[in-house]
Structure 1
Amino acid sequence: MPTLISKTTSDRPVSMAAESPLLSHKARLPYGGRGDIASSTTIDVRHVTDNDIPEWTRTWSTGYLRTPGEDTADHIREALIGARAIGAFEADRCVGTYRSTTQELTVPGGATLPACTLSKVTVAGTHRRRGLLRRMLDMDMREAGGRGEAVAILDAAEYAIYGRFGFGPAASMAWFTIDVHRAHVDRRQMDDTVGVELVTAAEYRKLASDVYERFRTTQPGALRRDDAWWDQATGLRTSLGSHWVEPYFAVYTSASTGEVDGFVCFTAEEAWQAMQPHSPLLVKDLIALNPAAERALTRYVVKVDWVSTVHLPCRAPDTLAPRWLGDPRAARVTALSDYLWLRILDVPRALSARTYAVDGSLVLKIKDADGYGEGTWLLDGGPQGATCVPTTRPADIVLGVDALAALYLGDDSFTRLAALTSIEEERAGALAVADAMFRTARRPWSPRAATHPEARPC
């Protein structure tokens, strides 16, 4: 392809899954997927063994446009400990890679769902259109039910790939570039940053991880960050090919409660133009539990001496960050894109797990070519909880499982997708009921730390 999902994978711990005896597609037979050109050679899709890792690493590195080093295979071996790695092998040559782990996805209402998280997915350019991605994905999705994973998630680098596998864009992100000189934030005024203090990496790791645990239970789309994730964020371990440069760490403590309610991690580069400081600052991570914390941390990074531009990537699409500036237009949107993609594997479990803005009842007929979510389901839900069971009642709304995924966290509307012919209204007024039920006060967001240069798009 290459197909790039999430390059940062240390926050996705899992246990090794045993190979299912039901996976007949693993047999060493020519395979042609839906619309694919059948392979003329034998390609084996299977779980990766330790001996496969050097060859698997070579293929993954090529797909991600990286030159493997002498220790690349060792880094990958460490990253795959406890993970589920799958490879497509033509004789002894790896021509496809795939990795998944178990995560926890926060849904509207604060519940978490076990999720199968995909990463490190590639198919060699010489072996495209042979159904290899589908075979690797099918193998993992069939095993996901046994692992208790109700949904699958990924960060899709390309929009056109995953819709045909039942995934839909479920949450978006915005990237901002802030012109400090236009922001109208008085650097001499310090009252608006009271409570912000710089801390060491060790202090940050403890305080920020505690804040994030409180935060993720309130934010639909948020994922768990484990100890390995925080080790990497604070330099205790480094990712493959990275050159660690110590960032700056700061936290915000509420004056009224004495609790740490937010944190920020950023880097800055000294730069001058015509004897004037012109330094860029990159916010790598910023999480706030309340508006006061977000305001103080946002205005703090804008006030850092010598900084002329603040890059603020990976933000919620409805973030309040620009509004904390004297002139919100100083925060220019440099990118706005779908980011987290979702695939629902267990429809009744997923729809029962979240809450709904208003009480209501809907009969949803779900179309799923792969069969996981196929069926007609009666959803009764409201602010206090929900139930979802099979039913023989006539459908109120007919939609594909990919459309349901796009709606599940509240980032789209039934009426909008119906206009795009992705949804059919069988009962008059059902779309309005569905929109009222699935609506969320704020848009879903799956926070990511900025670890790559693409966090600063032009």
Structure 2
Amino acid sequence: MTTDVRVLRQHEWDGWYQNLVRAFGGVDESPEEREFWRSNVEYHRFLGSWDGEVCAGTAGAFTFRLTVPGGASVPAAGITMVSVAATHRRRGVLTSMMRRQLDDIRTWGEPLAVLVASEPAIYGRFGYGAATFQIGAEIDTSRVQLSVPAGTDEVRLRYADPVDVLDACEAVYARLVPGRPGMLARKPGWERLRVLDPESERDGASPLQCVVAERDGAITGYARFRTKLDSGVGGHNGTVTLTDLAALDPASDAALWRFLFGIDLTTTLAVRGRPVDEAWQHLVSDIRRCRPRLRDSLHLRLVDVGAALEARTYQTPVDVVFDVEDAFCPWNTGSWRLTGDAKGASCVRTADAADLALSVRELGSAYLGGVPLTALAAAGRVRELCQGALVEASLAFGSAVAPWLPHGF
């Protein structure tokens, strides 16, 4: 059976979106969420796979800019809303949409494609590799204390309506974007995603709350969270669920965390999706009682190997030839010489003998500096063809701070 993959038309949105909802369990989103996605959809970048009048598959690509090592903001297609109707599985629908999508991204001149995978096993065969990870925790705030840095007591905290201070909080976020690979430079309107607060998403907790940190009259950080009170025979044991936190300096950061630890009638702080190197892990008295856990986050694909590797800088000088395999995007297959350092890089085709052999998937995992090439080699996914090249390249690809995706899309 063949299906027709084509650009989504505006009048088809409702049926297209309902097919997506069905594929993800059939529970409708709130009107606020649905309207957010409708208002931000870029129809010329969204695809539908059609079996006659029936929508068999969905896929889209938001326009983003992604911070890479060195601080550059690189065009990246944010792959989103990918689904295949259960009635049309194992018929090539997903493959045909991925094929069309990557061809389009190449013509748009965007060297990277990124996504958050609902099922990570799906996307490796299309060249995506897990490039960032995130940490979650369930912190027992009745047993864990914080040791805060000097200056924390100078930070003023105040409650604020999340919507009223949205612009000020977004300005804090924007200042942080160039400093950490994996962060998204948000287009106007995307800041609203972080304050959507449908009752259906609260699970019995309070409406979204916000506290801002201030120094010298300027907002230097914020935390958004919900509280859910509970009690037992031993007293109150409510939960604080952190949804968002950002700060411009260590004292503001610590002040916000200390506030969250000390909210009355609560004994648990639930943390989701935070950077793996975040400072709170070194402020706590007992990391075990925080019950940290790791999971994958951003999956990345190099659509144009040369342009992507030239767009970032490298921690140490590097001169290496990669033998790249890319069966799905064969224009990337072949030998590439990368030369670069902390000031810039060049990556061009070459006939020289390769130093390392790998697939584009491994390049995607290593690209933001969070996954060492040495680790991928230990897993048998990178082959060293010239002694010493692996360590040299792995050190160069690293990042001083862990890459992190602040939210999905």
Match of 1:22 in 2: none
Q: Check 1:230–1:276 CA distance in 2 against 1; reply closer, same or farther (3 A cut).
A: same
Report the Cα offset of residue 71 of structure 1. Answer: 7.0
Partner of 1:198: 159
Do the aligned residues in 1 keep the contact of 2:152 with 2:254 (CA within 8 Å)?
no
1:272 and 2:222 aligned? no
Counterpart in the other structure of 1:11: none
Query: Hey, what does 1:328 align to over in structure 2?
Result: 287
CA contact (8 A) 2:199 2:207 kept: no
Which of residues 89, 92, 99 in structure 2 aligns to 1:128? 89
Per-residue CA deviations over 1:289-347 (Å, capped at 9, x if unaligned) read 333222221111001111110011101122221222233333111x3111100010111
**More off after superposition, 222-231 vs 430-439:** 222-231
Residue of structure 1 aligned with 2:219, choices 241, 245, 260: 260
Q: CA deviation at 1:43?
A: 1.4
Cα drift, residue 281 of structure 1: 0.5
Q: 1:47 to 1:222 in 2, by over 3 A?
A: same
Aligned pair 1:345/2:303, yes or no? yes
Partner SS for 2:239: strand
Instruction: Identify if the C-alpha distance between structure 1 residues 418 and 233 changes in structure 2 by more than 3 Å, giving closer, same or farther.
Output: closer
> 1:173-188, aligned counterparts within 5 Å?
173-185=134-146
Name the structure 1 match of 2:53: 92
Residue 196 of structure 1 and its aligned partner are, at CA, apart by 2.5
Give the structure 1 partner of residue 241 of structure 2.
282
Distance change >3 Å, CA 328–CA 429, structure 1 → 2 = same
Give the SS at the match of 1:428. coil
Shift of 1:405: 0.5
**Which of 116, 119, 135 pairs up with 2:77?**
116
Q: Which residue of 2 aligns with 1:356?
A: 314
Deviation at 1:376, TM superposition (A): 1.2
In structure 2, C-alpha distance between the alignment counterparts of 1:407 and 1:101, rounded to whole Å? 23
1:125 deviation in Å?
1.7
> For 2:156 and 2:323, how far apart are their aligned partners in 1?
51
Q: Distance in 2 between matches of 1:172 and 1:52?
A: 35
Task: Provide closer, same or farther for how the CA distance between residues 191 and 100 of structure 1 changes in structure 2, counting only shifts above 3 A.
Answer: closer
Name the CA distance, whole Å, in 2 between partners of 1:209 and 1:73: 19
- Is the Cα contact below 8 Å between 1:418 and 1:424 reproduced in 2? yes
Deviations 1:147-205 (Å, cap 9, x if unpaired)?
22110000012121100001000000111111011113599xx9647333222334421
The offset of 1:68, in angstroms, is 4.5
Tell me, in whole angstroms, the C-alpha distance in 1 between the residues paired with 2:97 and 2:200.
Answer: 26
Change (3 A) 1:68 1:175: closer
Question: Partner of 1:227: helix, strand, or coil?
Answer: coil
5+ residue gaps in structure 1? Answer: 1-40, 452-458
- Shift of the alpha carbon at 1:260? 3.0
CA distance in 2 between counterparts of 1:171 and 1:439 reads: 12
Distance 1:306 1:432 in 2: 51
Indicate the residue corresponding to 2:21 in structure 1. Answer: 61
Q: Select 1:438's aligned residue among 385, 397, 403.
A: 397
Deviation at residue 81 of structure 1 after TM alignment: 5.0
Q: Secondary structure at the match of 1:160?
A: helix
Amino acid in the other structure paired with 2:384: E
Structure 2 Cα separation of the partners of residues 384 and 278 of structure 1: 52
CA distance in 1, matches of 2:211, 2:367: 34
Give yes or no for contact 1:174–1:316 (8 Å, CA) kept in 2: yes
Amino acid at match of 1:424: R
Cα distance between partner residues in 1 of 2:110 and 2:29 = 35
SS at match of 1:304: coil
Report the CA distance between 1:239 and its aligned residue: 7.1
Q: Does 1:412 align with 2:354?
A: no
Q: How far apart are the structure 2 equivalents of 1:252 and 1:304?
A: 16
- Name the structure 1 match of 2:212: 251
**Counterpart of 1:394 in 2: which secondary structure?**
coil
| Percent identical residues | 32
| 2:330 aligns with one of 351, 362, 371 | 371
Superposed displacement of residue 102, structure 1: 1.0
Report the Cα distance in structure 1 between the residues aligned to 2:179 and 2:147, rounded to whole angstroms: 32
What corresponds to 1:425 in structure 2? Answer: 384
Is the CA contact 2:41–2:62 (under 8 Å) kept in the aligned structure 1?
Answer: no
8 Å contact from structure 1 (residues 107, 113) kept in 2:
yes
2:125 aligned with 1:164? yes
Gaps of at least 5 residues in structure 2 are none
Residues 416 and 349 of structure 1, relative CA distance in 2, 3 Å threshold: same
Letter in 2 for 1:267: R
8 Å contact from structure 1 (residues 232, 239) kept in 2: no
What is the CA–CA distance in structure 1 between the aligned matches of 2:200 and 2:331, rounded to whole Å?
Answer: 38
Aligned mates of 1:311, 1:277 — CA distance in 2 = 16
Q: 1:330 to 1:166 in 2, by over 3 A?
A: same
User: Scaled by the length of structure 2, what TM-score is found?
Assistant: 0.91
Q: Determine the structure 2 residue equivalent to 1:46.
A: 6
Contact 1:193–1:299 (8 Å) recurs in 2 = no
Distance 1:340 1:295, change over 3 A: same
Once the 2 structures are TM-superposed, how far is the Cα of residue 240 of structure 1 from its aligned partner? 11
Equivalent position amino acid for 2:252 in 1:
A
How many residue pairs were aligned? Answer: 403
* Aligned-partner residue type, residue 172 of structure 1: F
Q: What CA distance in whole angstroms lies between the structure 2 residues aligned with 1:289 and 1:332?
A: 26
| In 1: Cα distance, 2:29 partner to 2:279 partner | 43
